[in-house]
Structure 1
């Protein structure tokens, strides 16, 4: 169990600074990473930054203790979802406390955990760990998860891969050993414009998209009826849906362009890439039908997000250790995705355990309980002590 008298750093003060940076995924995160870099320099913690494909997007890898592979990593992202169209009662980028709740965009998902990571730095240094404690901070988790991919490539190139990883997404400090993956596609339909009074004079992209949506809906029903079952998930099967669709200009013009965005959320064991190939094969006749109207017509597929599932065995030492430190008997499953699957695929066993409630994420007046941050503060120090202290 986590000792109740464990030292508490000023996590809330750091959270106050982190949420003041608008790091919604469409914006650069460089100013926030610069602030974290300055904080680490002040504490003499070595770190490396790795940039993404877009200007102003950075991930960061810091190591406390031996500058080597091994040890344990604490991982969090600093991007957050937009506040547009949400009814906030206060400025979403100014931390506000009321009745033990700390309100701000990203407070729960997941700057609270990153604040606790940074606040723990002086105590982690004082432990003089025999094995390294890694801090992994990424961008674009809410969109592509490319930050974690670029960071892992950089870490592997330097031969500094940790042995274990804790991803601090909000779980109310309960261990999560498995989550679904996510494969998202943008599908563009290109037809030929014409006057609606002469349907044969054009190719209706919206009609093609409608047939594709009908097929996707049927496939979603097939998964629900007869798909692979993975108990512990809600629902216990792979899901798929169309979430966005658009096309057309005015009613009396045959629509030349249409576009949809869709996703699979596969349970461990199901292959979303194979399902994407199956979809493309099924829609091939639609593509050929559009293609008859010109070489620029047809169906185009673009991967938006490819997030692998997480499947850590319940008997893995990391599961046992996290249960021991949190005092939890459970090891749960969730249907949302995290960067933990990317870390596991890179060769680093990962578990999800962090402060706050996922039910508060992405909502107006997002909040995290101060009590959850207190528990996280103790958790981080206890995990580092057990994994990285000299025997």
Structure 2
């Protein structure tokens, strides 16, 4: 169990990356370590678990037990290392050439380590409003941890007013990101011998018709979709990433499936787009299928959804992050974060954290040490603003 000695960001990062918190694994050993560290520094916290009890969020609060304040938020689950060629153990921190290498070093245990290293300094501050620390699970899967965390904070009255999500942004304030809706589409046909196609319903052909519509929809969005400048691309997108079906060539395939996603700019509704696809299948593809087999047709199964993020450039939180980080410019990104969920729950949110998203999920994932140092300064400056809060 950690004692109350000061640990540097690198010291803490070394410990955090040593825990394999790939999203398919339990994160409880890491959460236990953080819990011991916070307890040693007299910081109260609450845990909230997933339905299995094998994963937990941690919500710590430093300062007065008042409403509002600022949350610093980071997830500690990571993507797998399977199939990647690393030059060193991905779960052992390696320092070289001004970089720290390990799975999760960039996305996003580096930010969490920086926040934890600042705890002794923040505890010593005379905070007028609370500083919250959110540590969540399953961001890389469906952001289920953030949703559970919000449920707990709402139920116990500990919702912050503002939130900074420390996803890697090069310490640039990110004021907007796209939303994401991932859907699995299952197609049921009717089997038969391939020499007598009229007696069966080819599930792959039906899936292909739907995928053709999706391709045309992608072109429509590129041509005439809503534009929000600052995103790349500036419009919402749609694509199919996985497809499967059939058994052997001389059997009409009874089953087919594919997985697809929308990435929507603020102002577009991915569920409304899903309804358009449902209507197209119901009106254009399914009638011919059900003429042969009443049981044939489509099922649409949403897998996960992330709401988009958008905060006004003149919001006080944007100004606070600019001042504390020393960055004048703001940005918009195409990837999603938990910030959209926090905003959806009434917390004004922004993204700003150390590292480059291009290094995330890669073999030999790394974060620059000067980025961690900049984050160390940033976290303490954010906390210091709470000593002057009204």
**TM-score normalised by length of structure 2:** 0.95
Q: Does 1:345 align with 2:344?
A: yes
Partner of 1:140: 138
**Is contact 1:50-1:60 (8 Å) kept?**
yes
**Is contact 2:176-2:311 (8 Å) kept?**
yes
Change (3 A) 1:54 1:262: farther
Q: Does 1:308 align with 2:307?
A: yes
**Is contact 1:100-1:371 (8 Å) kept?**
yes
Q: How many residue pairs are counted as aligned between the two chains?
A: 384
* d(CA) in 2 for partners of 1:332, 1:23: 29
Partner of 2:171: 173
Partner of 1:93: 91
Partner of 1:327: 326
* d(CA) in 2 for partners of 1:295, 1:74: 53
User: 5 Å matches for 1:54-203?
Assistant: 54-203=52-201
**Is contact 2:47-2:59 (8 Å) kept?**
yes
* d(CA) in 2 for partners of 1:137, 1:289: 51
**Is contact 1:46-1:64 (8 Å) kept?**
yes
Q: 3-state DSSP class of the match of 2:141?
A: coil
* d(CA) in 1 for partners of 2:350, 2:252: 51
* d(CA) in 2 for partners of 1:388, 1:158: 24
Partner of 2:285: 286
**TM-score normalised by length of structure 1:** 0.95
Per-residue deviation, residues 306-341 of structure 1 (Å, max 9, x unmatched): 111111100001111111111111011111111111
**Is contact 1:190-1:290 (8 Å) kept?**
no
Q: 3-state DSSP class of the match of 1:254?
A: coil
* d(CA) in 2 for partners of 1:339, 1:164: 13
**Is contact 2:243-2:259 (8 Å) kept?**
yes
1:31 equivalent among 3, 26, 29 = 29
Q: CA deviation at 1:201?
A: 3.1
* d(CA) in 2 for partners of 1:66, 1:21: 32
Partner of 2:355: 356
**Unaligned regions of 5+ residues in structure 1, if any?**
1-7
Q: CA deviation at 1:294?
A: 4.9
Partner of 2:264: 266
Q: Does 1:19 align with 2:17?
A: yes
**Is contact 1:76-1:136 (8 Å) kept?**
yes
